[in-house]
Amino acid sequence: MPESSPSSERPPFARVEERERMVSTQLEARDIVAPRVLAAMREVPRHEFVPADLQAIAYRDGPLPIGHEVTISQPYIVALMTQLAEVEPGQRVLDVGTGSGYQAAVLSAMGAEVYGIEIIEPLAASAVARLERLGYAATIRHGDGYRGWPEHAPFAAIVLAAAPTQIPEPLIEQLQVGGRLVLPVGPRYLQDLVVVTRSAHGWQQQRVTPVAFVAMTGEAAQRPPTMAR
């Protein structure tokens, strides 16, 4: 599959006022305070990442279906996970469950070196084409993200957009020291958003808030359910 690459110039993005309203009412009005996260959410044209018949409601406060029984997360959750990842410009980041490519675009807009994995091949292919068309640099491949992408590890941050019932150990192992894994963990409808931080002596876990994501498929679905530790 071809990989996305940056365009020399990004096209002008429409619906600026809708993005401004989204940021002010859904993000700044809550607890999203990181300036670069807010700037990226203002820039990235969310309506380009949803089906044409849903573009009119792309900036509403909620998830939207993108086909294949998966969704694009609500803007607040994307911003929260990005803020928790604490990504700095130039850092290498892994986006597991790339979907439409929206999270990858936000990370790219923040100056990260973005790698993404999507298990549904048509979504992976469309994400590559979409990111290239919009001018966001990211390397996306089709595959099961449970074991990450060891060829490009270590990562400063890994963001996972589907919920395993336990934290995938291979993803923790691909974090650099000080790196952060941000993911939902748990069975359907009983998930927590979790941040795992790797240190020189192991890793620490912080539960942030209850969330509801689609279940992680592939190898993750074959693992026995356990409590997030």
**For residue 10, what pLDDT band results from cuts at 50, 70 and 90?**
low
Q: Is 10 exposed, middle or buried (0-12, 13-18, 19+ CB in 10 A)?
A: middle
Tell me the per-residue pLDDT of 150-182, one tens digit each, with 9 for 90 and over. 999 999 999 999 999 999 999 999 999 999 999
Q: What is the pLDDT of residue 226?
A: 54
Amino acid at 22: M
Q: What is the pLDDT of residue 59?
A: 98
The fraction of the chain above a pLDDT of 70, given in percent, is 92
**For residue 9, what pLDDT band results from cuts at 50, 70 and 90?**
low
Which alpha helices (H) appear in 86-201, and where do they start and end? 102-109, 121-134, 169-173
The catalytic residues are 73
Residue 1 has pLDDT above 50, yes or no: no
Q: What is the pLDDT of residue 176?
A: 97
* Single pTM value for the model: 0.91
Q: What is the pLDDT of residue 190?
A: 86
Tell me the per-residue pLDDT of 44-100, one tens digit each, with 9 for 90 and over. 999 999 999 999 999 999 999 999 999 999 999 999 999 999 999 999 999 999 999
> Domain coordinates of the chain in residue numbers?
16-222
Q: What is the pLDDT of residue 8?
A: 39
Cα→Cα distances 163→86, 173, 188, 194, Å: 20, 18, 8, 10
Q: What is the pLDDT of residue 229?
A: 39
**For residue 13, what pLDDT band results from cuts at 50, 70 and 90?**
confident
Angle between helices 75-85 and 102-109 (to 10 degrees): 50
Residue 5 has pLDDT above 90, yes or no: no
**Which fold is adopted by the domain 16-222?**
Rossmann fold (3.40.50)
